Structure 1
Amino acid sequence: MTDHQMTPLDAWVPSGVDVTVPSMARTYDFLLGGGHNFAPDRELAARTEQLMPGAGKVARINRAFLGRAVRYLADRGVDQFLDIGSGIPTVGNVHEVAQRALPNARVLYVDKDPIAVAHSELMLTHNDNADILRADMRDPASILTSAQARRLLDLSRPIALLMVMMVHWVPDADDPHALIGRYRDALSAGSYLVLSHVTADQRQDQISDARNTIEQSRSADHLTPRTHAEVLCLFDGFDLVEPGLVGCGLWQPAGPGDLSDTNHELNAHIYAGVGRKP
């Protein structure tokens, strides 16, 4: 492994963060073209791209889905967003997209990665309608009752719950179906779930190799790809909006940048959907 090279970023890396061990948040940042990552993250991204050609393109297609979903909800008057597993800030963040459409939109980001949180804190310093909370998504009560949530979110009104490229990091042992249900039950009618998830229905050998590579990298993150039927179950209690649960590039694409027109398989490698709580 390449020795870690000191950069200006190291001057404020939160205490206790071992930057010699890759983080999936920082690896994903690199795949998206971001600059908040270290050599081990870039090496893991390169190995992932080698095992799964087009991984970077898939990440960008998923990011485009996030922007379309946020705009879809803002167009329907949803002005509160709870982004679980928000990751490291990059181009087209939820608050930027939402507040462009609705200047008073409120956004609470949640992530357990200390570097993602530190970057978000810097980015949101002068934005009174957005904040970041360091927390684990598996503890909904601590998130929903946090000081940040009490300040920004009104649970008696519709909220958009975003879990984009997040739930496949939750193992079956933690029962993601029940976990999402706990969030759903806390939300008012008219709230939405926006979710995207790595599929187990395609490129199974490549997915297995990538999962093994992540585990061998000493990363604390463990990938659990799921089938269409398994991901669909995560929307229990929500009514899917058109076109349902589809490849993220196929969810209401608005232009050529939203999907691949050269490799159609890449458009469906990640399932995505938006559901409304009746």
Structure 2
Amino acid sequence: MQPETYCYCRYEVAGPLLTLTLDRPEVLNSLHPDAHRELADAFDRYAADPALRVAIVTGAGERAFCVGTDLKALDATGDHTKPSTGFAGITHRFDLWKPLIAAVNGLCLGGGMEILTACDIAVASDHAQFGLSEPRVGLAALGGGLLQRLPRQIGMKDAMALVLTGKRISADEARRVGLINEVVPAAQLMARTRALADDILACAPLAIQASKQVMLMSLAQASLASTMHEDYPLAQRMLASDDAREGPKAFADKRPPNWTGH
């Protein structure tokens, strides 16, 4: 599968930045098995390409980021198939240490929330809405990790309120509970998200990846003390890298650093 053959997502590269757009606006960017497979392939490519350092994930159109599973397709085919890497090819991908930024351009419901919580940073347009609608159609948000991620990211009470009511919340409320980082006018969404990507790109690639690895791997440890003694492979690689020497040298020389990722 090649990016130019994708039918349900757009894979757009600009230097070290990937913009991955869910491209089914006619069904609010809901996903079916073929869309899941394309997205899994896209994330595989991002992970494997050393030239790509940051990815933005967004939805086509102005109405929706993603509203989850395409229920009409599911009713027609009965096909629940997803890749081993989970919903949208991302929710079960536990070894992607490159950053993911969600640009939430509208409705973010059900599986859209699964994608959102699998990203590291999130910016939303001011008209975006968020919710877990599964209980209202007789389902639960199982299998994508959201029920496990959400209380880790926003706290148990706010997570319970979202999960148990099925109600939608506004972008401002999502910001208040910590589900997203920023709210901006819709016209500024991609510019602000790219500015955040540029901030990340100004940092050393291995330092960013090591930091993400340490933060996420430490969540699996039972105590703070155990996290301090854990072996984090990317941290060791970073410390031995050329970039670890380049940063202090550039500072001493009063010049911008030249990061190589090595």
The alignment's TM-score, normalised by the length of structure 2, stands at 0.28
> Over alpha carbons, which structure has the higher Rg?
2
Higher relative contact order (CA 8 A, sep 6+): 1
